[in-house]
Chain A
Amino acid sequence: EDQVTQSPEALRLQEGESSSLNCSYTVSGLRGLFWYRQDPGKGPEFLFTLYSAGEEKEKERLKATLTKKESFLHITAPKPEDSATYLCAVRPGTYKYIFGTGTRLKVLA
């Protein structure tokens, strides 16, 4: 069965304290792994797409990496405005996504 697991569930960081979020997956044929940011009461905002092991994408303080079993979202020197829930989703071969439960990130000033 296709499955996505994110860890930790929640993370509190001090401003400037770098860390990584994990997304582990088991799918029958990965056709894309996606990272989104979701603020409370809003729809998810697209961040990155990764397609193959070894691929990396960067945007400002965020960097996403992909292996054959997991993806990491690295946050370098986070700021309070980076506080949000970060969602990982995989596309196993159709247009449908399978979402993880997310990591709720809180960055303290």
Chain B
Amino acid sequence: GAVVSQHPSRVICKSGTSVKIECRSLDFQATTMFWYRQFPKQSLMLMATSNEGSKATYEQGVEKDKFLINHASLTLSTLTVTSAHPEDSSFYICSARDPGTESYEQYFGPGTRLTVT
């Protein structure tokens, strides 16, 4: 199956600072990537859909100015959490679909654990 990586796997930052998380598709080109967040023992909540070369589509209730998404190439999408606060601490996961296949399964990265102190 398709491989998606994320970096970093863990990050600790101070309140008020910004953090960038990278999501890469390693063996395919992804025109669309997805960003999720997951709280402990809860399911994945879609934050936004990242489209290569265009603006991201955010889900209702997600602050666009706080969670900046850039999909500048067919293999890389980034999520920047701006002016992070402790309530932004969470597990952030990206996924991508291989457009070279006719199936619609998404392949997920290993996730990034963000802790804001």
The residues of B with any CB-CB pair to A shorter than 8 Å are 1, 4, 6, 32, 34, 41-46, 49, 91, 93, 95, 97, 103-111, 113
Cβ contacts A71-109/B at 8 Å (1 or 0 each): 000000000000000010001000111011110100000
In the complex, the answer to whether A95 meets B107 with C-beta atoms within 8 Å is: no
Within A7-53, which residues are at the interface with B (CB < 8 Å)? 31-32, 34, 36, 41-46, 49
**Bound Cα distance A9, B25 (Å):** 32
In the complex, the answer to whether B104 meets A101 with C-beta atoms within 8 Å is: no
In the complex, the answer to whether B108 meets A41 with C-beta atoms within 8 Å is: no
The secondary structure that dominates the A interface is loop
Chain B residues with Cβ below 8 Å from A101 are 42-43
In the complex, the answer to whether B43 meets A97 with C-beta atoms within 8 Å is: no
In the complex, the answer to whether A31 meets B104 with C-beta atoms within 8 Å is: yes
In the complex, the answer to whether A44 meets B42 with C-beta atoms within 8 Å is: no
